[in-house]
Homo-oligomer: A and B are copies of this chain.
Amino acid sequence: MSTLSPNLSAIPSLRVSCSHCNLREHCVPLGLSLRDIDRLEDLIASRKRIHRGEPLFRAGDRFEAIYAIRLGFLKSSVMSSDGREQVTNFHMSGELIGLDGIANEVHSCDVIALEDTEVCVIPYERILAACSEIEDYNLHFQKILSREIVRQHGLMLLLGSMHAEERLAAFLLNLSQRFESRGYSRTEFVLRMTRAEIGSYLGLKLETVSRVLSRFSHDRLIAVNQKHVHIIDAEGLRAIVSGQNPEEIIEE
């Protein structure tokens, strides 16, 4: 792996332009020079489509590549020995998947597409090669890994010490922020996952998720219609996250 896939440009349909990809700021957060960004394109071996409901990979699969989401929506989950599932993350465009596989050369979680999805396949050897060939790519990739660690700290805080309402409020605000940073509306979006999957992610049962969403809806913080969510009072949600549960409005 001394040169980076010199032959790929021969296959135009597979050739990807990172420098023109509007997801660039997500995959390549560091201030790389344009010249280096061009070289990043060589990391990508191919693209892959996954249909709704299908796995990108499963726990136990051999780890070979990191995936960058071009478009779509997926969930990661781990299973306990006795079959309980815990959703560990929801992924949207621009995010990287598969970092867990580096540890043992085997994936430790399932990743399932929640809608039809397309990913860039980045063979891990190429990432290692880039680390030694591209100035600063080392630091760049370590930051990506570290960022995931920090993200999970936040999730542990949520799971370990927040109430159902706080968890849901934090969840909605997080989604909102991520949609916004991708150019979508931060106030209206569609939940790609079921109530049960939200519940698993937040350490709650689906009935609790449903009830809390109904309560938010009743309190005019959001409007929910099935999967469609409209955030009406983001400030109110933020207040809930930080425990500022305001005096309850007297029920009529």
Contacts and interface: CB of A to CB of B under 8 A. Distances in A.
Interface string A59-97: 000000000000000000010111011101000000000
A46 to B, nearest CB: 22
21 contacts: A80-B157, A80-B162, A80-B242, A80-B243, A81-B242, A84-B162, A84-B243, A86-B153, A86-B161, A99-B146, A128-B142, A131-B138, A138-B138, A142-B142, A145-B146, A148-B149, A152-B152, A159-B203, A160-B200, A160-B203, A161-B203
Given A101-B146, A108-B153, 14 more contacts: A78-B157, A80-B243, A82-B243, A82-B244, A85-B161, A88-B153, A99-B149, A104-B150, A108-B150, A109-B153, A141-B142, A156-B156, A160-B200, A161-B203
Interface in A132-153: 132, 138-139, 141-143, 145-150, 152-153
Interface of A: 78, 80-82, 84-86, 88, 99-104, 108-109, 128, 131-132, 138-139, 141-143, 145-150, 152-157, 159-162, 200-203, 242-244
Number of copies: 2
Contacts of A145: 102, 142, 145-146, 149
A142 B105 CA distance: 12
Task: Among A86, A132, A202, A243, find the residue whose CB has the most chain B CB atoms closer than 10 A.
Answer: A86
Contacts of A159: 156, 159-160, 203
A117 to B, nearest CB: 21
A164 to B, nearest CB: 13
Contact of A78 (B128, B138, B142, B154): B154
